[in-house]
Structure 1
Amino acid sequence: MPRSLIAFITALALHAGMAAPVYAQGRPVPYPLPEAPVVLETINARINVSVVAEGIPRPFGFAVLPDGDILVTDRYTPALRVIRDDMLDPEPLQGLPAIRTGFHSGLLDVEAHPDYTNNQLIYLTYHTALETDGEYAITLGRARYDGSDTLADFEQLFIGTPMTISGGSRMVFAPDGKLFVTVGGAMDRRPLAQDLARLEGKVLRLNADGSIPADNPFVGQADVHPAIYSYGHRDQYAVAIHPETGELFHAELGPLGGDKLNVIKAGGNYGWPLYGYGSYNDGEPMEKLPREGFESALLIWQPGIVPSGLMFYSGDAFPQWQGNLFAGSIQRGRLPGSGGLERLVFNENMWELQRETLVTELHQRIRDVAQGPDGFIYLLTEEDNGAVLKLQPAQ
């Protein structure tokens, strides 16, 4: 549907007092992206929000590289797209392996190596089809991106256990060079996330070459996959490393409310599907944490926001936000058009002081968030017309 028509339908709905988005053939019509930069007011900043590039259907992850190029995963095509000089290349990068696509599966996250400037290495998570019909596995791959149109030296580093229900995946490098990878697929009430022989609902810890660190918490234990670092997770689309402590922060989706922010401990069990803070999808309340032997959340979102993407801000463009934690939000309370960007402020004890939701005026599903080399904040929207947005101080 043309953007001009979407804008017209939305305007009619608002004029008539209807709650947008309006619906066409039973599906919500997404809000159009702004045609020009928009200035928005926050508690302590005026921000200019602009569209860097658009036209990526349902993207999932992105990486803003040191030279300013932006790599974006096109989940279902599947394809890896590149934005150069604020222009989306119409042709995807070549050199990807065969990727299994389907419900919540496909090409997922992309992450640059901490020494990318020197080694040009990027990492991808995706699903690989297995020989058994209907089964596939989370996979970690690595390649070199030198700015050309083709990835070089692609290699599969790690492949997980068979699965039949998939979810998203996120990656982040720790200060010691280890790579944390989240694995979804434990969305329903089956105890997959509690099964230590499987990888659904787990956080993995790997070496940069895909091998398993010898000091992982379950190495050497019978019937336990040695890559597992923590377990008892549902869908988990957000990870970040605290810039001072080096701790792994992690956002997780509750089924119906009770989304949570965790600080991940080695070997920790975070409860799903036994305990949580919200309700199951049928409305039945969950038995609540804390419980002995299970890790409690640092904070929860009630109603849920579907957190996706996580970042500690450290740039100079917004000095008043240094050290703040930002989380993307797909929607609040399962309401279409209610996505935004969460800003969380903590004190030195990591006690929450302030929580603010930004850019809700755009009514976009915010799938990922990143800080660019220019100190600006970049957002990835997950829509049929997915886009990269840029947040910078307004003049």
Structure 2
Amino acid sequence: MPHTARACALALALASSLAACDAASESAAGTAPAVKTTAAASTAPTPGERMQVRELAVGLEHPWAVAPLPDGGFLVTERPGRLRRISATGEISEPIANVPEVMAEGQGGLLDVVLAPDFASSRRIYLSYAEPGPDGTAGTAVATAILGDGALSDVKRIYQQQPKLDGEMHFGSRIAFDGKGHVFISQGERNERIAAQKLDMLQGKLVRLNLDGSVPADNPFVGRTDARPEIWSYGHRNSQSLAVDPRTGTLWEAEHGPRGGDEINLPEPGKNYGWPLATHGINYSGLAIPEAIGENAPDTVAPHHFWKRSPALSGMAFYTGRPDSAWNDSLFIGALSAGALIRLSLDGNRITGEERLLEDLGARIRDVRVGADGNVYVVTDESKGRLLQLVPPVSKTPGAATAPAPAQNSEP
């Protein structure tokens, strides 16, 4: 049975220094056995002038995604292939049964979890994962299922990356809904760089499907014999960030660069986002990317925003519609190698500033979500990973968010 540990409130210093990304930034941090413990807080923090942090649960094995539930609890994926429910008071369930089989090597495993748009009535969830194939191959896949008390039912795979490839890297993957009956699925190029440019392969592509997994008739490559109809955009390296701006319906995507060049894109149908022809990064060896033409390439779209020094971007969430919060109109992105939660201040689609939170934890931030309660929730990628609640500071001037340091598209 889980046991209860004390809750902690952390006073955190904020900084804007950039951290280098290395090859290990996207990799597993170990394969320690799961330790099922909890950290339920006896009292909730109260809003104040400074951010407050509350540890809700600890003992998760390399959690990859967190999905807040309507009852105040959470679903959390663990990369080795477990899905757990965490109560509002921090109690961690036994693994939920009937999760799809995953390839849990390297960067593979059980990845994203999101609630279906009609979850309140259907209890349906979406899961992305590294799906094993023949002869040691694997590829990104997505399944839907009905969430029960201790098990999933009606599990259906609705997407399967083809072809499956050898290797343990660059699966992605995040899931987002556009509110118009479509689901977007991000994924990596499986460390096969040029595959991101090949339209007959699904690696390195952002995919758009109907909610049941069928292909929308208005997808940009429908009807072409030389391209997969599932593709929405291409030229992506390893996308672990995906979210829809609730203010405008605009889709935002972020992806790992190699050594440098992590980037944010606003993907449009049929567009080429450059990898590996255009990049602001280099190989981990220090040598240039062999296929790269430069930071820009013909017929490709430049990043909406990039980091010359990679923070290793992970989960993404918008914080909007809360004018009394100091964080209103912000985009949060987890950072692995930088060990931070990045807050980008927004003016429409324009990024006006950057602030780095949680650096004092010394932990890889794997996912971030915004709860209906106006608080922010993150999971840390550790062998005893944590679920944290962040209570935002209150704006001293209602309707005015705090202004972080100006954002830069290069090293300061």
Q: Distance in 2 between matches of 1:352 and 1:314?
A: 14
Contact 1:163 1:185 in 2 (8 A): no
- Following TM superposition, by how much is the alpha carbon of 1:317 offset from its aligned partner in structure 2, in angstroms? 9.1
- 1:84 pairs, out of 63, 83, 87, with 87
- Offset of 1:243 from its aligned partner? 1.6
Greater RCO, 1 or 2 (C-alpha within 8 Å, sep 6+) = 2
Question: Match for 1:51: what amino acid?
Answer: E
The change in CA–CA distance for 1:353 and 1:316 in structure 2 (over 3 A counts) is: closer
The match for 2:105 is 102
SS at match of 1:133: helix
Match status 1:220 vs 2:190: no
**Which residue of structure 2 lines up, in the alignment, with residue 10 of structure 1?**
none
Partner of residue 298 from structure 1, selected from 282, 298, 304:
304
Within-5 A mapping of 1:179-218 = 179-187=183-191, 190-218=193-221
In the other structure, the counterpart of 1:152 is 153
Distance 1:288 1:306 in 2: 21
- Whether the 8 Å CA contact 2:40–2:91 is kept in 1: the answer is no
Distance in 2, matches of 1:238 and 1:318, equals 27
Instruction: Please say if 1:242 is aligned against 2:250.
Output: no
How far does residue 101 in structure 1 lie from its aligned partner after superposition?
Answer: 2.1
Structure 2: tracts of 5 or more residues without a match: 1-28, 31-37, 43-47, 395-412
Runs of 4+ in 1 over 6 A off after TM superposition: 33-37
Task: Identify if the C-alpha distance between structure 1 residues 317 and 386 changes in structure 2 by more than 3 Å, giving closer, same or farther.
Answer: farther
1:307–1:329 Cα contact (<8 Å) kept: yes
Paired with 1:378 and 1:318, the residues of 2 have a C-alpha distance of: 19
- What's the counterpart of residue 342 of structure 2? 342
Percent identity between matched residues is: 37
Q: Does 1:48 align with 2:47?
A: no
Q: Would you say the 8 A contact 1:140–1:158 is kept in 2?
A: yes
Matched, 1:58 2:59: no
Query: For residues 363 and 315 of structure 1, do their structure 2 counterparts lie closer, same or farther at Cα, with a shift above 3 Å needed?
Result: farther
Structure 1 residues 208 and 223: CA distance shift in structure 2, 3 A: same
Deviations 1:241-300 (A, max 9, x none): 112221110111111011111111111111111211121222124543333200111111
1:307 aligned partner: 313
**How many equivalent residue pairs?**
349
Kindly state the Cα deviation for residue 145 of structure 1 after the two structures are TM-superposed: 1.4
Match for 1:129: what amino acid?
A: P
Per the alignment, residue 284 of structure 1 pairs with: 287
- C-alpha separation in 2, matches of 1:143 and 1:320: 37
1:46 match: secondary structure: coil
Give, in angstroms, the shift of residue 85 of structure 1.
Answer: 2.5
Task: Give the match for residue 358 of structure 2.
Answer: 359
The 5-angstrom pairing of residues 250-261 of structure 1 reads: 250-261=253-264
Instruction: Please give the root-mean-square deviation of Cα atoms over the aligned residues, in Å.
Output: 2.5
Distance 2:137 2:297 in 1: 34
Equivalent pair of 1:340/1:357 in contact (CA under 8 Å) = yes
Q: Secondary structure at the match of 2:131?
A: strand
After superposition, residues 32-47 of structure 1 pair within 5 angstroms as 45-47=49-51
Q: TM-score, normalised by structure 2?
A: 0.79
Name the aligned partner's letter for residue 135 of structure 2: D
Q: Return the alpha-carbon distance in structure 1 between the equivalents of residues 360 and 39 of structure 2.
A: 10
CA distance in 2 between counterparts of 1:292 and 1:118 reads 47
Shift, 1:35, TM fit: 11
Q: Secondary structure at the match of 1:213?
A: coil
* Alignment of 1:330 onto 2:341: no
